[in-house]
Amino acid sequence: MGQDLSSNGLKRTDTRAPDDLGGLSLEYSFETLQAATDGFHDRRRLGSGAAGAVYRGCLRGGSDVAVKALFNAGPMDGFEEEVRTLSRFRHPNLVTLMGWGQHEAAKYLVYELLPGGDVIGRLLKCKRGETGFDWQQRARVGTDAACGLSYMMNCEPKAFHRDIKPANILLDANGTAKMADFGLAGTAQETSPGRLTVEQVAGTPGYACPVYMQTKCVSEKSEVYSFGVVLLELLLNERPAISIHGGKIAYPLRQIVDPGREGALGRALDRLDAAANWPVNTASEVASLAIQCVNGPEGRPLFDTIVPVLRNLCKSRPPGGSSSPLGPAVGQRMSAPAVHSRPPAPASPEQRALAEVVLECIHAEGVDLASLPPEQKSIGIAVGSSRHISHVLGRQHQGDFFERLVPKRELLTCVSRSHVELSWEAPSTTVSLKVISPNGLIVDDSMVTDGCSATVDFGMRLGFRMRGAKESFLELQALLRSRAMVASGGSHPAVRSATRTSSRSSLPAQSRQSQSTGTGSKSIASQSSGSSTAQLECFHASGTDLSRVGWHDRVIALRLDRDTEIGRQHQQGFFENLLNSEPQWMNFVSRSHCTARLARAQGDGPVKLEDLREASASSMVLKIENHSNNIIFVDDKAVPKGDVATLHYGSRLEFAAAPAGKDVRRFLRFELRPAPKKSEC
Span 531-583, pLDDT tens digits:
568 899 999 999 888 888 878 788 999 988 888 999 987 887 788 889 888 88
User: What letter represents residue 550's amino acid?
Assistant: G
Q: In the structure, how many helices (H) and strands (E) does the chain have?
A: 19, 36
> Residue-wise over 326-364: b if at least 16 C-beta within 10 A, else e?
bbebeeebeeeebeebeeeeebeeebbbbbbbbbbbbbb
CATH fold of 117-315: Transferase(Phosphotransferase); domain 1 (1.10.510)
In contact, 590 and 655? CB cutoff 8 Å: no
Q: Is 312 exposed, middle or buried (0-12, 13-18, 19+ CB in 10 A)?
A: exposed
Q: What is the value of pTM for the model shown?
A: 0.52
Q: Where are the domains of the chain?
A: 22-112, 117-315, 353-499, 534-603+617-674
Residues 6+ away with beta carbon under 8 Å from 244 = 250, 362, 363, 461, 463, 472, 475
Q: Is 74 exposed, middle or buried (0-12, 13-18, 19+ CB in 10 A)?
A: exposed
> Does residue 190 or residue 440 have the better pLDDT?
440
> Does residue 426 or residue 350 have the better pLDDT?
350
**Model pLDDT, residue 520:** 35
CA gap 612, 597 in Å, rounded: 16
pLDDT per residue as tens digits for the range 30-79 = 999 999 999 888 888 887 766 678 899 998 888 889 998 887 655 555 67
> Residue-wise over 133-155: b if at least 16 C-beta within 10 A, else e?
bbbbbbbbbbbbbbbbbbbbbee
In contact, 30 and 103? CB cutoff 8 Å: yes
pLDDT per residue as tens digits for the range 194-239 = 667 777 777 889 999 999 888 888 899 999 999 999 999 999 999 9
Share of the chain above pLDDT 70, in %: 76
**Model pLDDT, residue 178:** 95
CA gap 44, 38 in Å, rounded: 8
Residues 6+ away with beta carbon under 8 Å from 39 = none
Bridge partner residues of 656 (DSSP)? 666
Chain centre to alpha carbon of residue 148: 31
Chain centre to alpha carbon of residue 321: 31
Which segment of 89-98, 116-125, 331-340 scores lowest on mean pLDDT?
A: 331-340
In contact, 176 and 338? CB cutoff 8 Å: no
CATH of 353-499, one of 3.30.9.90, 2.30.110.10, 2.30.130.10, 2.60.200.20: 2.60.200.20
User: What letter represents residue 365's amino acid?
Assistant: E
Q: Which stretch, 14-28, 98-112, 339-353, 636-650, has highest mean pLDDT?
A: 636-650
Assign domain 534-603+617-674 to a CATH class.
mainly beta
The answer to whether residue 4 scores a pLDDT higher than 50 is no
pLDDT per residue as tens digits for the range 70-86 = 876 555 556 776 677 77
**Model pLDDT, residue 352:** 67
Return the SS3 of 246. Answer: helix
pLDDT per residue as tens digits for the range 319-370 = 433 344 444 332 223 233 333 334 444 455 666 678 888 999 989 999 888 7
pLDDT per residue as tens digits for the range 455-498 = 887 778 899 999 888 889 999 988 888 777 677 667 888 888 87
pLDDT per residue as tens digits for the range 263-321 = 888 888 888 888 898 998 899 999 999 999 999 888 899 999 999 999 988 876 544 33
CA gap 675, 612 in Å, rounded: 10
CA gap 439, 402 in Å, rounded: 15
Bridge partner residues of 100 (DSSP)? 27, 109
Kindly report the three-state secondary structure assignment for every residue of 451-508: CCEEEECCCCEEEECCCCCCCCCEEEEEEEEEHHHHHHHCCCHHHHHHHHHHCCCCCC
> Residue-wise over 428-466: b if at least 16 C-beta within 10 A, else e?
ebebbbbbbbebbbbbeeeebeeeeebebeeebbbbbbe
Bridge partner residues of 110 (DSSP)? 67, 99
**Model pLDDT, residue 333:** 30
For residue 160, which of 50, 98, 81 has the smallest C-alpha distance?
81
Q: How many residues does the chain have?
A: 681
**Model pLDDT, residue 189:** 53
Roughly how many angstroms between the first and final C-alpha of the chain, as a whole number?
A: 99
Bridge partner residues of 479 (DSSP)? 358
The answer to whether residue 384 scores a pLDDT higher than 70 is no
Q: Does the active-site annotation cover 163?
A: yes
pLDDT per residue as tens digits for the range 587-646 = 888 888 999 999 887 644 444 444 444 444 457 899 999 998 888 999 999 999 999 999
In contact, 475 and 245? CB cutoff 8 Å: yes
List 118, 134, 144, 163, catalytic entry: 163
Q: What mean pLDDT, rounded, does the chain reach? A: 78
Indicate if the alpha-carbon torsion angle 467, 471, 473, 475 is positive or negative.
Answer: positive
In contact, 177 and 93? CB cutoff 8 Å: yes
CA distances, 522 to each of 204, 321, 511, 527, 566 (Å): 61, 49, 6, 6, 18
CA distances, 357 to each of 89, 148, 479 (Å): 46, 39, 6
pLDDT band of residue 373 (cuts 50, 70, 90) is confident
CATH number of 22-112: 3.30.200.20
Return the SS3 of 336. Answer: coil
534-603+617-674 matches 353-499 in CATH topology: yes
In contact, 164 and 144? CB cutoff 8 Å: no
**Taking each helix axis from N to C terminus, what angle separates 280-294 and 303-315, rounded to the nearest 10 degrees?**
170
